[in-house]
Structure 1
Amino acid sequence: MEMNVNDKRTKSGHFEVGDGDDGAIMEMKDMQGKMLVIKERAIYEVSFADTIDPKREYPDLPANVQKKLIDLGTESQLASKTYLMALKMMKPEYISAYVDVKRALEVSFELLLELHKLNQEKESYRLAEKAAIEEYELRRGQKLDYKLPSIPDIQTRCKTFFQKADHVLQTLMEINSLFFIEKKLHKQAHFDTFLSLLKEEYGEKDDFVKMIEQVLPFLKKLRALRDCLDHRQDGVIITDFDLQLNNNVLTPTISLNFRKETIERMPLEMLMDATTKNLLYTVESTLALLCGKHVCIDKMMPYCLRFIPKQQRRNKYIKYAFWSPIGELGWFYQ
């Protein structure tokens, strides 16, 4: 006898999320009727039949549907310092009501995806450069005809990388605009505009102001690189492997001189590495400070943003959390 839809939906059972390669389940969160499953090396979204078909009109639907969102989890610095930190802090009970927390979390995940793509582009370039060097050394060892190493698509790789770097900044600015919606900050604003807003709001000596002042010169160079490469302007010089008069071979380099922004000739891989590191720092610091500046006022249980001492961290990569003066040492909401 075939089981009816009500019996199917209410019967007990179990299921596995992902596979062993993803590691253990570290946390689960309810996200508007769907379950977010955070594992050590992946994040999954699980939807249930009653969420998809609340009227129970389709008995053949599977009891649950799982979808891998990204191959990063709690063991990833990138995921932990961005989206996983945002999940801990961007909650209606902590953040002022005028902030659309749901949308801020959605864009925070988009931000993680953009950063992940950027890191993949960097790694792809690193491997291409490594392969070219290995081929060159192999030919030298075999005493074959001289062949200079090269990365034929180096121009395209650069354009793609710095476009994606700019996408990270645009996505971060959209989150900024959600928190400063009352100040009418546009999601397409530049960071110098954002800095002016912060100075007006909090003063010259504020920590948020100082952080943006610290990173702004580099962010301006990234925007100049993107504009120059995207619009095929003179100003960026990308040089593939370059034979010197002393027979040394330089690895690929890049330099910039565009709209008063300059970068002296330097190894391309070094600039890519600096870009990913600086953007991760900028994103992590901005997300934390946004939440700290827009915490809701609760006279019964005050919250404030604090740095978590290493020995007290549940996730070793998440450095910031809300804190309340509970007990002798206070309580971090992790």
Structure 2
Amino acid sequence: MNTAISSTATAAAPVSGEAAQGSSPRSGVPADASRTAISVKGLVKHYGSMLALDHFDLDVHRGEIFGLLGPNGSGKTTVINCILALLTYEAGAISVFDRPMTPVSYDLKRRIGVVPQSVALFNELTVEENIDYFCSLYIPKREERSRLVREAVSFVGLEEFTRFRPGKLSGGLARRLNIACGIVHKPDLVLFDEPTVAVDPQSRNAILEGIERLRDAGATVLYTSHYMEEVEQICTRIMIMDHGRRIALGTANELKDMIDLGERITVGTLDLEQDTLGRIRALPFVMQADYDGRELNVVCRHGDRNLADLLDLLNASGTSTGHLISRPPSLNDVFLELTGKALRD
């Protein structure tokens, strides 16, 4: 069995009624900002001489899907392990559902589910037996456990694979089984650490839809991923961290408003003159403009008339235009500008 942030060690329990209603960019149902699911204040953690967490703060509201982003080595996994009381730390305080989290807070841990990045399964057990084993850590009654296992199997869409062993499953199906083992006992809080690594698009969509269903059923979700589009799709709020510190916090749109980049404009043209390109570069909203003989690519600051002013200049110069694309900044643009590196670095 792989035990990296094992869902057996800390998972609590698909979802009790104590959690608040959830929200997402899709549902529009607000999270309960007045009630805190996770509170981390001034957390300091060293590994030898290396500072992993530098007075780190985090507040996750009940009923939201909260995205935690950071490059490798930024401290994300350390934060998760500290929240789960799997690591000690030198300073700071952590509470879960308004109660201090300690290594012996077993009643709190029963309310937490963990889906680790490394698939944590018993290869000698079938799909159904794996889920039942993890459920048995919290639910002693076989009859109740049997019902919960059936619900978890249905939730992740593994009905046709209950007698399979993990080694016979595709990577995507193994990830789904990993999720079932982490949520079978119905947690109020679920921590997902890179749950879609190396899975096919169909399985990725199924996993993301499942996370949203957990939220809709009342769970709070803390979600880490290297895939920006996933985070933007499902997360209510997003924190970017690096070097153990918080860099930025907000909704996807709020984060995009924090950077200079406003949009990228691509115009298809075969006759752009150099003097016209020079005038484009001189426009006050233009950060960069390049032409490869077929396409004009312009990086713009925030502005309401960027596209209109650019087209006016092109038309006035007699430049013919073909296809036209205007793209808003991505979360990866935000991350790159705020941290100086790509998320996957």
Asked if TM exceeds 0.5, the reply is no
- The TM-score, its normalising length taken from structure 2, stands at 0.23
Could you say which structure has the higher helix fraction?
1
Structure with greater contact order relative to length (CA < 8 Å, sep ≥ 6): 2
TM-score by length of 1: 0.24
